[in-house]
Amino acid sequence: MVHPVYADLPTTIFEVMSGLARETGAINLGQGFPEEPGPEALRRRAALESVDGYNQYPPMRGLPALRQAVADHYAAWQGLDLTAEEITITSGATEALAAAFLSLISPGDEVVLFQPLYDSYLPMVRRSGGVPRLARLDPPHFRITREMLEGLFTANTRVVVLNNPVNPAAVVFSDEELALLAEYCVRHDVIAICDEVWEQIVFDGCRFRSMMSVPGMRERTVKIGSAGKMFAMTGWKVGFLCAAPALTKALAGAHQFLTFTTAPNLQAAYAWGLANCADWFEAMPADLQRSRDRMAGALEAAGFRVLPASGSYFLLVDLAASGVSEDDRAFCLRAVKDHGVAAIPVSAFYEQDAPTSLIRLCFAKRDETLDAGVARLAAARAARS
Ligand code: PMP
Ligand code: GLN
């Protein structure tokens, strides 16, 4: 007998769509990964570390140099006062999330989450014994409101999970929304697990604010980051858990029996990168913003209705408003099988009451890929509108 959480768990939509794209040779605008290979200096550094560096088990909580570099980076970019002792290095944000859920949720604890939600959250919350309490953020702006929070938090609420910027909604929460959620966390003595992996990818002059910097939240926030997102190299799978010492002790306890540690050559390269790639952090969002605008412009010219996007490298398209009379899954399957372009149906990010006419497109691609991808989407639209 397998555990009930896994008995009927479908394969994640990202793998399904990438698998179909591999099979059919489609342009993959589905799973979020950049087409460019990432900063060359950093890749050379990792090669050097692999050849001349240390390749045995690094310390369980991560290389001291990387933990310090993460703390310094967040001090410079987000004004946080983290120490290296408050950082645990994980094998990607996915492992960081799992460690946070396993160590902070006890059976029966209520866990507040917002739909749309990243697809690892609910299975891991349930596997940890948590009871999900779901709120729903509505397109096109996906805002958090007081009415939504009232009644959602109870005496049994132990954890809230917040993804900001939001995948797939591509919105960044305002200071007011963060303060509102913080008010409920403090009032109900709740820990916030904050998945901030898209923190470095915000547009239009918007400044990202970590939940950890909101008054009252320093000691009750678990901040999760991903070097894969920061440096546009998703395959390296190095993540960070940042939290006050009492929480870090529990988080590290879970981490030590999930993966224990992560590749030392990559950790060393990222430590170097965080200290030496300030220009990358300026250039990357500006480049991505140009790609966002190129793709949005091409989509609109082709008759698609695009939702506003201020963070992450995703754009949402409203199929119904674009004249497509098909739901998101049917459209995405037809687009990848018949028209050579993969996208993600947004209903995959909801457990209940999913909108069924939104698709997510990744624009971290070369111009020619974006143009060809949009042309193929236009052909898929023309075939059914
Ligand atoms: N959380 C969110 C919201 C994500 O979008 C992703 C990956 N795109 C992850 C977690 C996982 O990050 P990692 O690849 O570092 O495990
Ligand atoms: N987070 C990536 C996305 O949203 C996918 C990561 C994965 O496939 N595990 O596309």
* Ligand 1 centroid distance, CA of 101 (Å): 15
Show the low-confidence residues of the chain (pLDDT under 70): 385
Q: Is 312 touching ligand 2 by the criterion CB < 6 Å? A: no
Closest-CA residue, ligand 2 atom 9, reads 14
* Ligand 1 centroid distance, CA of 161 (Å): 14
Q: Is 93 touching ligand 1 by the criterion CB < 6 Å? A: yes
Output the pLDDT for position 199. 98
Query: Do the Cβ atoms of 259 and 91 come closer than 8 Å?
Result: yes
* Ligand 1 centroid distance, CA of 323 (Å): 32
Which atom of ligand 2 is the closest one to the Cα of 30? 10
* Ligand 1 centroid distance, CA of 238 (Å): 10
Output the pLDDT for position 206. 87
Q: What is the 3-state secondary structure (H, E, C) of the chain?
A: CCCHHHHCCCCCHHHHHHHHHHHHCCEECCCCCCCCCCCHHHHHHHHHHHHHCCCCCCCCCCCHHHHHHHHHHHHHHHCCCCCHHHEEEECHHHHHHHHHHHHHCCCCCEEEEEECCCCCHHHHHHHCCCEEEEEECCCCCCCCCHHHHCCCCCCCEEEEEEECCCCCCCCCCCHHHHHHHHHHHHHCCCEEEEECCCCCCECCCCCCCCHHHCCCCCCCEEEEEEHHHHCCCHHHCCEEEECCHHHHHHHHHHHHCCCCCCCHHHHHHHHHHHHHCHHHHHHHHHHHHHHHHHHHHHHHHCCCEECCCCECCEEEEECHHHCCCCCHHHHHHHHHHHCCEECEEHHHHCCCCCCCCEEEEECCCCHHHHHHHHHHHHHHHHCCC
Output the pLDDT for position 44. 97
Q: Is 118 touching ligand 1 by the criterion CB < 6 Å? A: yes
Q: Distance from CA of residue 216 to its chain's centroid?
A: 24
In the chain, the largest separation of any two C-alpha atoms, in whole Å, equals 58
Angstrom distance (rounded) from CA 35 to CA 292: 14
Closest-CA residue, ligand 1 atom 8, reads 32
Which atom of ligand 2 is the closest one to the Cα of 94? 9
Closest-CA residue, ligand 1 atom 5, reads 167
Domains of the chain: 4-31+280-384 (3.90.1150.10), 56-276 (3.40.640.10)
Query: Do the Cβ atoms of 340 and 28 come closer than 8 Å?
Result: no
Q: Is 157 touching ligand 1 by the criterion CB < 6 Å? A: no
* Ligand 1 centroid distance, CA of 303 (Å): 31
Angstrom distance (rounded) from CA 47 to CA 303: 46
Q: Is 197 touching ligand 1 by the criterion CB < 6 Å? A: yes
